[in-house]
Structure formats: C-alpha cells, structure tokens
Amino acid sequence: MKKVGKLWLIGGTGDSVRILQAIAAHSFPCIVTVTTLTAPNLYPTNLLITIQIGKLDRLGIQQLCQQETMRGIIDASHPFAINISQQVIEFANTEGIPYLRYERPSLRSNSQAIYLDSFEKLVKGSYLKNKRVLLTIGCQNLSQFKSWHQQAILYARILPKLNSLEMALNAGFPESQIIALRPPITLELERALWRQWEIDLVVTKASGKQGGEDIKVKVAQELDIPLIIIKRPSLDYPQQTEQISDIIEFCYQCFRE
C-alpha cells in the first residue's frame, strides 16, 4: 500500500508557527524540523504533526524525505539561513518534490538607514571606527568583528542561550558588553538600552517586522542614531510567497494525485 506521505515544514521562526497552525487547521500531516530544544514548545500539539530537532546536512535531508515520503516542502526558515534553503532546493529539484518558500515581507527602505550587502562590507569599511556600536545581528556573525574591538566599543545583543553566550565571549566581547534577551523587544526597551549604553551606531539585519526591524528604525529616527541594515542574502527560490493562503493551496496541490 502506498504511503499517504507528509509535508515538510522547515521551521524555527515565528512565521513557521503561524504556518503550522494553518496547516493543522486543514488536517494535513506534517513534519516540522527545528534546531533548538526549546522550539517545539512554540508549536501546536496535534496527532498529525511530528517535530524533529536537530540540524540537517545533505544526507539528513535525503534520509528524512525518504523515510517520511515527502509530498511537498515548505521552507519557512530565517531569511538569513540560506544554507539549509540552498541544500533543500537542490534536493527537491533532483527528486521532483514540490518546494515553496515562505519569505516574510520586507520593510520599505528607509532613507535615513545605511544598507549594506554583507557583513564583510561592514567590517572592511570604516563605519564602526571610534563608535559605540550595538550589534543586533545574532551570535553567528559576531566573530567577524574580532578585529574591531580595539577601534570601537562593541555591544552584542544575543539570545539567552549558553551557546550564544559562548560564541559572543569567543568573539572577544567582554561580559559587560553582552546582553541576553529574547525577542520581541518593545519600543520602550529598545530605546532604553540604546540610551543606557550611549549607543551612537546600531547594526541589524533586514529581518522584517518579525525580527524587530521596524522598532529599530523608529528608535533610530527618534534618537537620531545611524542605523546600518544588512540586506537579506539573495537566493533564487523556484517558488515563493508572502501569503499563508498560498501555502494552504500548495498543500492541497501536493496531495492531489
């Protein structure tokens, strides 16, 4: 007997929680992959939903799709997590598995912000020199700023997780210049933190409203503090949407014979 199969939702973001709620409401069997131990607590409990924890490499992707007979893949990973997206797109193309990218809406460009294509352009430029800089960029990219600790005062805001703290410390950030907070960060708290540390430059990623980009833009304008926004990496998705209704239609298509 042929297996019914499942949908694969690449999760780990607030977007993916909303998407899974919609998928569950339409009674589609779905497996969600996340990378942290706490992430499963965010998702609804449902007999049709399976949650798998752990990072996937190419072999892991292949094994997962073969074991679960994937009918379709919905990629709701973070806009900057392009490694998993690239690998899944290649595998889906090879195996003929339908793929849909959910791309969270981007904010309109702000005329007062400085937009850069990469962290490499930032650290190779002179933007940070002699500045008190707040980095709200996650822990993965902090190591790129090691060479700047002697030329600027750098503050890092990270998630309250042990591995995030270890990465910040290994990147040369002293304990007094690290703050661990779980988003969302309110406008009032964002403003207070910038004032507390006397910040005169902020660096963030173009992660959209879900990532608090809109709040940072507002506080930067209010306090007249320069804001550098690192643009999202460019990836040629075979099919993408910003609408959950499109995802549900995609799910129905995946289960049509």
Where are the domains positioned within the chain?
6-105+235-254, 114-230
CATH superfamily of 114-230: NAD(P)-binding Rossmann-like Domain (3.40.50.720)
Q: What is the separation of C-alpha 125 from the centre of its chain, rounded to a whole number of angstroms?
A: 25
Q: What is the mean pLDDT of residues 113-123?
A: 96
Identical fold at 6-105+235-254 and 114-230?
A: yes
- Strands 114-116 and 132-136 turn out to be unpaired
Q: Residue 1: pLDDT above 50?
A: no
CA 226 vs CA 7, 12, 107, 206: distances in Å: 43, 30, 17, 15
* Contact partners, residue 106, CB within 8 Å, separation at least 6: 206, 208, 232
H helix runs in 38-175, sequence order: 58-68, 82-95, 119-124, 162-170
- The pLDDT score that the predictor gives to residue 141 is 95
Report pTM.
0.88
Mean pLDDT confidence for 71-94: 94
The answer to whether 16 and 10 are in contact (CB under 8 A) is: yes
* List of residues 6+ apart from 241 with CB closer than 8 A: 100, 101, 102, 103, 247, 250
Contact 15, 210 (CB under 8 A): yes
Task: Tell me the per-residue pLDDT of 178-190, one tens digit each, with 9 for 90 and over.
Answer: 999 988 899 999 9
For 158, phi then psi, to 5°, come to -130, 170
Beta bridge partners of 179: 157
Phi and psi dihedrals of 88, rounded to 5?
Answer: -70, -40
Q: Which CATH architecture has domain 6-105+235-254?
A: 3-Layer(aba) Sandwich (3.40)
